[in-house]
Amino acid sequence: MKILVVEDDRDTADYITAGLKQQGHVVDVARSGRDGLFLAAGEGYDLVVLDRMLPEVDGLKILRTLRGAGDATPVLLLTTMGSLDDRVEGLEAGADDYLVKPFAFAELNARVNALSRRAARPVRESLLKVHDLEVDCLKRTVTRAGRLIELQNQEFRLLEYLMRHPGEVVTRTMLLENVWDFHFDPKTNIVETHMSRLRGKVDRGFDAELIHTVRGAGYVLRAPQ
C-alpha cells in the first residue's frame, strides 16, 4: 500500500516508517499538519496514519477537511489523548481507527492490515433509495423528495447503514459496531443522540416517517405502507 504518515515527532515518524517499509509498503512522511493536509488531499494514498496534535493544522481539522471533501481514505489516528471522550471525538471527526501512544509497532501493523482488508471489500452499491429518500455514497449527498439534506459525517454513516438494511431491525449494538466501530458499550447515549438528530433532518417536514423505533429492539428504516 501507499501510506502517508503525518507525525511531527521525528523519532516516532522514523519508527513507524521503518516498520511499514519492512512490511513492503511505500511510505511518505509529513511533519506538519499543513503538509499532511496538502499531501493527503492530492496524492491518492491507500491509508493515512495521522497524529492528532500537530503544528499549524491539528489532526482533527485535517480529518474533518478530508471527510467534508468526500475523501474516504482510511485514517488511523494516533494520539496521547486516550480517554473515552477523546476516542469518540476522533471517530466522530471521521477516523476509521484510533491508537493511543505509546504503542507497539505490532499493534499498529495489525490495525493497518485490518483497515486494508476493510478498504479492499467488494464495491457496494453507491446509490441507495428508499421511498423518496436517496443517498449517493460517492458524492455523499442526501435528498428527500428532491430536497437536499445536510448531514454531519456520523449522521451520514448512520443513515447509510440504515439504507443498506431497509426493512430490517438494527440494534444499538449493530450500530455501535458498524457505524462507530465500537466493539464495546461506551455507556453513553451516542446512538440515541445521533438517531434523534438524523430523524429530525430526514423525517421532519415530510409526509411520512421513514425511520421508526422498535421498542426493546432497535430501529428500522422502511417505506410507508
Q: What is the pLDDT of residues 46-95, one digit of tens each?
A: 999 999 999 899 999 999 999 888 888 999 999 888 788 888 888 888 89
Answer whether 0.85 is exceeded by the pTM: no
Per-residue pLDDT of 163-200, as tens digits, reads 999 999 999 999 998 898 887 788 889 999 999 999 99
pLDDT of residue 119: 66
Chain centroid to CA 105: how far? Answer: 23
Q: Quick check: 108 and 76 in contact, CB under 8 A?
A: yes
What backbone torsions phi and psi does residue 24 show, to the nearest 5 degrees? Answer: 95, 10
DSSP run (H or E) holding 219: strand 218-221
pLDDT of residue 107: 93
pLDDT of residue 120: 59
pLDDT of residue 69: 84
Q: How confident is the model at residue 152 (pLDDT cuts 50, 70, 90)?
A: very high
Cα–Cα dist 124/145, whole Å: 24
Grid cell of 100 as nine digits: 493511543
Ordered domains of the chain (ranges, CATH): 2-119 (3.40.50.2300), 127-221 (1.10.10.10)
Q: Quick check: 30 and 54 in contact, CB under 8 A?
A: no
Res. 15: pLDDT tops 70? yes
Q: Quick check: 33 and 56 in contact, CB under 8 A?
A: yes
Strands 211-214 and 147-149: unpaired
Residue listed under C-alpha cell 511531527:
8
Burial class (CB in 10 A: 0-12, 13-18, 19+), 116: middle
Cα–Cα dist 132/127, whole Å: 13
Per-residue pLDDT of 17-43, as tens digits, reads 999 999 999 999 999 999 999 999 887
What average pLDDT does the chain have?
A: 90
Residue listed under C-alpha cell 425511520:
211
Burial class (CB in 10 A: 0-12, 13-18, 19+), 201: middle
pLDDT of residue 122: 52
Per-residue pLDDT of 96-116, as tens digits, reads 998 999 899 999 999 999 888
pLDDT of residue 123: 53
Q: Quick check: 171 and 184 in contact, CB under 8 A?
A: no
- Specify the higher pLDDT residue, 136 or 86: 136
